[in-house]
Structure 1
């Protein structure tokens, strides 16, 4: 009892407790496949039993051939062949079950992790590099899903094989069984150090692997800038640095693996030779037959190799739990704030005809304690209006847009969307459905132009798409493409110009027909004439839309109903005189 309590206390402490929690998390995904997994385990145990039965049958066959017992040779041969064929069938069925469960568990975990990443609080997710997210979503998910059938079921099968072989040897020769178990205490003691070291190396390897993927992903995303600044050699050297870092971690791990495997091989070799020597002595003294000697050699080797395999499951268990821990880290992060469900439903109906207003009242926001982005900010925009946010770069225009979209939450003050009857909702992820957003930069996805457009409105027909393209001054160049709407564009709008990609992004936002349109420097790649024409088209679309634009360029300010200036932490509405001065100074 004291030993059992000691083991339980160890599990509750430190690394073992952490691994236990990670294991429970992994196997919650296996619950719905428990009958298939149970069937898989049963098949494995049956296969193990047949393998042991084949060894026993071989003993009797050798005894029969050597003249000890010449009866039933044909019967024994049939049994051996039958067991071998059945074992092939069982292995084939087990492989099929393995593939089926692995792919299902992999897809389920991957989808849950993906959904969690996409619905987690935006600021929390900015702490992860996209390359690291990809590594976790693919490599770590794959490791966990493979372990569902590669760890616990394997443990059960190996234990069955170990105990079965031990029972047979005990039946024929207890001394041989004792010799075959000599490696067990050494292996158990050795496994404790193995677990600690393996966990450390697994974490380091995954971290460096994430660094490698992050570097590659970021390089490919910015390949144009790297080429333009003639930075290829510099980035190539950076890659070599990361590769060397990975090489150092890998070689340390390899050295550790060589030491441990060599040590375990020596222990196993010593046990095997002891068993062999004892078997030779027993055969020489006439105590056993050649068939029994062959059986001993097979089973003693099986005992040693099976016990080594059981110890060898430790690295795979650590690898799986390490990956599980990296995935569990996402589930500790807060979800995006979603509130005012009932009022959101009311606004969904009321906004169709009369649109929505957006209002920030006495808002304060800071990313950290040292820098307040803005304080006591008041911003208001109503249906049918174009409201501009201007100010120097880096002073908070994009932060204001993130507040509108519920990506971040104000530290104090009131931020709401409101319908014509006065029903209002606090801005959160829940109110994002009321917005169409065109961010800075190129946001076109790979695929056809039609695919990109229908992304925001799946039931849109060609007439709807063309109307939006015309409003964004994009249809003229789209209709000239060889395949029109079905023309393909590459990742981040590859194959078209920045200005064309920007107009497509605006058209996509207009197609959504949301009551509030946010344009965050969305016309920066357009000439002044096209920029003004796009805004005029937005006004003339006959739709109750609130339009908010952020811009460095004051060329469109004369078209705006209100202009707010963000500068040095303050947000203030500026009058026509200052607007004229901004236009003139530009």
Structure 2
């Protein structure tokens, strides 16, 4: 009882507790495939039993050949061959089963992690680099998926093999079994130290692997800037520094693995020599036959190998639980807040096409306690209006857009949308369905122009797509392309200028026909005449729309119904004279 209590205390302590929780999480996926895994285990046990039977058969075959035992040589030989063929067949079946389960589990975990990333709290997810996300989504998920199928079945089948071999050796010579188990106490003594070091190394390897992937992913995303600033050599040298860090950690881990493996090999070698020596002595003294000697040589090696295989499950378990822990970090992040969902549904059903107002009442927001982005902010935007947000860079225009999209939430005050019936609803991720958004920069995906457009409206007709492109002043260049709206687009809008990519993005937002349109510096790459034409087209599409734009260029401010300046944490409505002054100063 004291021993059991000690084991429980160990499990509850630190690393083992973490591994226990991570293993429980992995089990939630394993139990979904319990019947397939059970069948896989049965096949593994059958293969093990056939291997042991074949070894015993070889003993009787040799004894029959040497005349030390009477037996049907042909029958024994057929039995051995049959066991071998059955084993090959079962291995083929288990390989196919494992492939099926592995890909299913991998896809299931990957999809759940991907979905979690998409709905997780936006600020919390900003702590992860996109390269690290990719590494966890692919590398860590693959490690976990492989282990869910292989670890428990391997533990059971190898345990069966170990017990089976030990039982056979005990039957023929108990002393040989004791010698063969000599390495077990050594492994138990060093296991605690090995487990801690292995887990530390696994965590370090995962981290540096993410660093390499993050660097590559980020540099490829910004390859145009790398070339433009003539930074090819600089980034090439940075890659080598990142690689050197990875190399140092990898070689350190490799050295530890080599030392550990060499130590265990030496222990195993002495055990194997001791077993062989004992077998030779027993054969010399006439206590065993040549067949039994052959069986001992086979089984002693297999017993040592089986025990070593059981021990080798520890590193794979540590690797799997380490990866599981990295994946579980996502599931600990809270989801985006969805507020007043019933009101959101009511507004959606009762006010389609009739427009929505946006109101911010004494709203305060700060990313942390050190700096308030804005305080006591009051903003109103109604259907049929263009409302502008202006101000110096970094003072809160984009933060305001994030607040409207429900990516972040007000620390104080109220941010609401209001329908024509006066129904008010708090802004959150649930109200995002009422918004169409065109952000800064290039947001075009690879595929065709039509593919990009239909992301927001899958059932859109070609005519609807063309109409939206015309409204965004994009169809003039699209119609000149070889395949019109079905022309291919490269990654991040490759093949188009920034202005063309911006107009396609605007067209995509217009196709959605959302009651509120957010343009975050979305016309910055357009000339003034095109910018004004696009805004006029947007408001003349015959759809009740509230348009909110952030801009550094005051050229369109004269078209706006209201202009709000965000500066030094203050949001204020500026009058016509100030707007005219901004236009003159531009």
After TM superposition, the score normalised by the length of structure 1 is 0.99
Please state how far the C-alpha of 1:71 moved relative to its aligned partner.
Answer: 2.3
User: 1:292 matched to which residue of 2?
Assistant: 292
Measured after TM superposition, the shift of residue 4 of structure 1 is 1.7
- What CA distance in whole angstroms lies between the structure 1 residues aligned with 2:416 and 2:374? 18
What is the aligned partner in structure 2 of residue 275 from structure 1?
Answer: 275
Give the secondary structure class of the aligned counterpart of 1:436: strand
Aligned counterparts of 1:19 and 1:67: Cα–Cα separation in 2: 56
Give the structure 2 partner of residue 428 of structure 1. Answer: 428
Q: What's 2:8 paired with?
A: 8
Whether 1:160 and 2:196 are equivalent positions in the alignment is no
Alignment correspondent of 1:312: 312
1:105-129, CA deviations, whole angstroms, 9 ceiling, x for partnerless residues?
0000000000000000000000000
Aligned-residue Cα RMSD (Å) equals 0.7
Aligned to 1:375: 375
Query: What is the distance in 2 between the residues matched to 1:437 and 1:109?
Result: 30
**Residue in 2 aligned with 1:455?**
455
* 8 Å contact from structure 1 (residues 351, 515) kept in 2: no
Quick one: distance in 1 between partners of 2:270 and 2:203?
34
Partner of 2:585: 585
Aligned to 2:567: 567
State the match for 1:389 in structure 2: 389
Indicate the residue corresponding to 1:67 in structure 2: 67
The 5 A counterparts of 1:210-249 are 210-249=210-249
For residues 467 and 350 of structure 1, what CA distance do their matches in structure 2 show? 26
Deviation, 1:403, is 0.3
- Equivalent residue, structure 2, for 1:510: 510
The residue number in structure 2 matching 1:331 is 331
Residues of 2 paired with 1:497 and 1:419: CA distance?
A: 38
**Structure 1 residue 39: deviation in Å?**
0.3
Q: CA deviation at 1:351?
A: 2.9
2:349 maps to what in 1? 349
Deviation at 1:89, TM superposition (A): 0.7
**Ranges in structure 2 where 5+ consecutive residues have no aligned partner:** none
Q: Are the aligned partners of 2:353 and 2:515 in contact in 1 as well (CA < 8 Å)?
A: no
Mapping of residues 505-584 of structure 1, within 5 Å: 505-584=505-584
SS state at 1:309 partner: helix
Q: Which residue of 2 aligns with 1:500?
A: 500
Provide the rounded CA distance (Å) in 2 between the counterparts of 1:83 and 1:29. Answer: 34
Paired residues of 2:457 and 2:512 also in contact (CA < 8 A): yes
Alignment of 1:7-46 (within 5 A): 7-46=7-46
Q: For the residues of structure 1 that align with 2:326 and 2:360, how far apart are their CA atoms? A: 38
User: What are the within-5 Å matches in structure 2 for residues 163-202 of structure 1?
Assistant: 163-202=163-202
Q: How many angstroms apart in 2 are the aligned matches of 1:496 and 1:100?
A: 42
Cα displacement (A) at 1:349: 1.9
Which residue matches 1:414? 414
| Structure 1 segment 58-137 matched on structure 2, within 5 A | 58-137=58-137
> Which whole-Å CA distance do the structure 2 matches of 1:474 and 1:13 have between them?
63
Correspondence for 1:484: 484
Helix, strand or coil at the partner of 1:364: strand
1:370, distance to aligned residue in structure 2 (A): 1.2
Q: Give SS of 2:336's match.
A: coil
- Give a deviation string over 1:308-345, Cα, whole Å, max 9, x none: 11111111000000000000000110100001111111
Q: Which residue of 1 aligns with 2:443?
A: 443
CA offsets 1:187-214 (integer angstroms, 9 cap, x no match): 1112211111110010001100100000
1:266 aligns with 2:276: no
Q: Distance in 2 between matches of 1:336 and 1:287?
A: 75
Deviation at 1:353, TM superposition (A): 2.9
Asked if the contact 2:502–2:522 (Cα under 8 Å) also holds between the matched residues in 1, the reply is: yes
User: What is the CA–CA distance in structure 2 between the aligned matches of 1:463 and 1:554, rounded to whole Å?
Assistant: 34
Aligned equivalents of 1:149, 1:191: Cα separation in 2: 24
The Cα shift of 1:237 comes to 0.7
Secondary structure (helix, strand or coil) at the match of 1:541 reads: coil
Deviations 1:7-49 (A, max 9, x none): 1221111101100110111121111210000000011011101
Question: What secondary structure sits across from 2:46 in the alignment?
Answer: helix
**Structure-2 separation of matches of 1:184 and 1:163:** 13
Secondary structure of 2:499's aligned partner:
helix
Compute the displacement of 1:66 (Å). Answer: 0.5
Shifted more, 465-474 versus 62-71: the winner is 62-71
SS at match of 1:565: strand
Q: Hey, what's the Cα distance between the residues in 2 that align with 1:488 and 1:353?
A: 33
